[in-house]
Homo-oligomer: A and B are copies of this chain.
Amino acid sequence: MGHPRTRTTTAPSAAGAADAAAPLDAAELSTLDAHWRAANYLAVGQIYLMSNPLLTEPLRPEHIKPRLLGHWGTSPGLNLVHTHLNRVVRARDLDAVCIWGPGHGGPAVLANSWLDGTYTETYPDVTRDLAGMAELFRQFSFPGGVPSHVAPETPGSLHEGGELGYSLTHAYGAAFDNPELLVACVIGDGEAETGPLAASWHATKFLDPVHDGAVLPILHLNGYKIANPTVLARIPEDELDALLRGYGHEPLHVTGDDPAAVHQALAAAMDRALDRISVIQRRARADGDARRPHWPAIVLRTPKGWTGPREVDGHPVEGTWRAHQVPLPGVREHADHRHELERWLRSYRPQELFDEAGRPRPQVLACVPADRRRLGASPHANGGLLLRDLPLPPLQRHAVEVDKPGTVLHEPTRVLGGLLADVMAATAERRDFRLVGPDETASNRLDAVYEATGKAWQAATLPTDEHLARDGRVMEVLSEHLCQGWLEGYLLTGRHGLFASYEAFAHIVDSMVNQHVKWLKTARRLPWRRPVASLNYLLTSHVWRQDHNGFSHQDPGFVDHVLNKSPEVVRVYLPPDTNTLLTVADHALRSRDHVNVIVAGKQPCFDWLTLDQARVHCARGAGAWEWAGTETGDRAPDVVLACAGDVPTLETLAAADLLRRHLPELAVRVVNVVDLARLLPAEVHPHGMPDSEFDALFTRDKPIIFAYHGYPWLIHRLCYRRAGHQHLHVHGYKEEGTTTTPFDMVVRNDLDRFRLVLDAVDRVPGLGVRAVALRQAMTDARIRHHAWIREHGTDLPEVAEWTWTGG
């Protein structure tokens, strides 16, 4: 803590490190330190300077940015790690990528990218000379410029550093199925306090040393968050050491505040870690050693804001939380602060680092690897470069036969499981597809995939275990955060996947999907970023079928959350049956740069459409089911029964059936919506329907009784600009949940067939006496339901045994 003297320690049980304790000769030490100083100089410059980037004249107020919005604290540590990664990547010719976890790491990673030339290659306007340095400085945290966090705009990055906690899970996602890749991952000690990060350490039990690459966690303890010390920096080192061993790691501790000594210690630790990784991989791959390895992890303890001002206005800054943001806030106004800044900048001896033209001198670049080995140039950080189309089977192979709608049942997700098994089999060699989920693959009835692959598992096994496999590509862990983070890392490095989850618990990753959508939105606007495979969710075990889990498992709001996000990215699909689910899943798995949310049940569900019909219907996204309605000739319908979602479709079809049998003269149109964004105006969402199409489908003036899977007001939110909106009446989930039967759930939320019929007859004008008997019959049926369920605990036979009887 504080500023301890430099030392490297390894576990008492580890031996043989001493001879490698000072691996750098004087020349290499000098070049590494020069690179580090150059990166530090550039980081400070970004935070403060508008012009005069190389201090060719004394600093004047107009050289200083009017608003100082950067963060210094984490930069020197990140620069140190980057410098030393350069060294080992170059020395060992490694294929490596780095995840930069700490918040506000922008200045450091940008500085390094500018130094290694990738920034200029990516943004030719920011040249690697004086003019480019000035622009690099000006644009940072400046309106229209680049953010203070590592972001999509940052070359070499696949991880946004704004919302903390996901670096390590992203690192593992990048490493899966990339056996030759080293994924370094700098974890901030602030970030380390988050739940997702705390859980991520246990990914050691899921990483296959044969088929996956290596993750090298570098826990950087600079000791402070915004305003507080960090937990892991303030527990005794033996406690921290035990913690990391408990996570399955072999920790290597590097601690110090003397640059030369820390360079030696960190170089030694990196060498040791990479040697250890080589041994682990060779043993597993060549020798077939099946024991779970204890992967190395580096604990790097250096002062926050290291090499920055020691004191400002009488307060200690370096090595304290005061170094977090801008250590010298008054440089534009106060000459003494400005002089202090100039002293600070000159302390890096910029004239040794850059020539008069502002170009980094050769010594500074001596440690930088070449070409694609540069961390800023890794194709893994621009995964679209590596992406291949997924080999999807013909849908005919899995489609179900539908002779007559609404008479035969299938479990949609079980059939989808067959398709996914084909994908798993077809990617057995390529290994670029993974299925993730929190312990629910079988519960969600996708277990056909186990015919093609197992569940990734490196911990101990017992004879009674099933489907566990060291090389499995189904990822099951009881953490939605890990599932999401692994998949994000996997997709952003150019692979494919699907996240299957209980619907309600998708909210656990609300904030993560926010960040992923933001990433995709920004990346789509960057021409150099190539499209990546979409993030596909299958939300199943949904709100209407939580028969034994009850209220806590009932929440359809993830769709609402996602639809608040950038329309160019988000897509929501509610396939009503098996063949539509296959069609939608096929589409989602082929798509790029989207977040696709598919909501589909796992329980037996009537088949409504043949595969050909499903293809047409899903391509339109919403359409009338003529066979289900009672329109004749050119006459407009009297009422539109619309539906979205499997259970609402069932209730709507049952309602249409009742209306057809009891009021055959009523012209009913049944509309099913698969692609929810079609309801939006065309100018709001790329899938949005033109008004003319909406009006033709839903009418402008007839009652629309809309049975929706989730919160009813979402449909209003999508349709409020439509001509027929005032005639729209939506039934959906109203937070009336409990442990009960499927039909009782819809009754409690007024989504049941009887209620839909009541609503329809109430809203069609002029039915008069014709509706009286039907209204009474519907009311009686609801009463009958309540009495029956109280006595039997099951659904009315007339409901349980219903099938579609129409043409």
Contact = CB atoms under 8 A, between A and B. Distances in A.
Interface of A: 1-2, 65-67, 69-71, 141-149, 151, 160, 162-165, 190-191, 193-202, 205, 225-231, 234-236, 239-248, 316, 319-320, 439-443, 455, 457, 459-462, 464-465, 468, 476-479, 481-482, 504-505, 507-508, 510-511, 514-515, 518, 521-522, 547-553, 555, 557, 560-561, 564-566, 711, 713-714, 716-717, 720, 725, 735, 738-741, 744, 789-790, 792-794
A789 B144 contact: yes
Contact of A443 (B195, B226, B320): B226
Contact of A242 (B196, B199, B246): B246
A740 B439 contact: no
B67 A235 contact: no
B507 A793 contact: no
A482 B61 CA distance: 44
B193 A195 contact: no
Contact of A561 (B141, B442, B561): B561
A553 B162 contact: yes
B142 A739 contact: yes
Contacts of A793: 65-67, 142-143
A721 to B, nearest CB: 8
B144 A790 contact: yes
* Chain A interface SS verdict (over half): loop
A143 B746 CA distance: 13
B225 A439 contact: yes
A435 to B, nearest CB: 14
A593 to B, nearest CB: 15
Contacts of A242: 242-243, 245-246
Contacts of A235: 205, 248, 459-460
B510 A228 contact: no
Looking at A71, A164, A507, the one whose CB has the most chain B CB atoms below 10 A away is A507
A557 to B, nearest CB: 5
Contacts of A246: 239-246
Sort A-B residue pairs by CB-CB distance and give the 9 closest, nearest first. A243-B246, A162-B552, A195-B195, A69-B548, A234-B459, A147-B550, A198-B198, A507-B511, A193-B478
A511 B441 CA distance: 21
Contacts of A557: 514, 561, 564
A229 B460 CA distance: 9
Looking at A244, A439, A555, the one whose CB has the most chain B CB atoms below 10 A away is A439
Contacts of A789: 143-144
Nearest to A513: B507
Contact of A565 (B508, B514, B735): B735
A1 B205 CA distance: 16
A564 B560 contact: yes
B198 A202 contact: yes
A142 B744 CA distance: 11
Nearest to A247: B243
A193 B478 CA distance: 5
A165 B713 CA distance: 30
Given A245-B242, A552-B163, A227 B439 contact: yes
B143 A744 contact: yes
A247 B240 CA distance: 8
Nearest to A739: B147
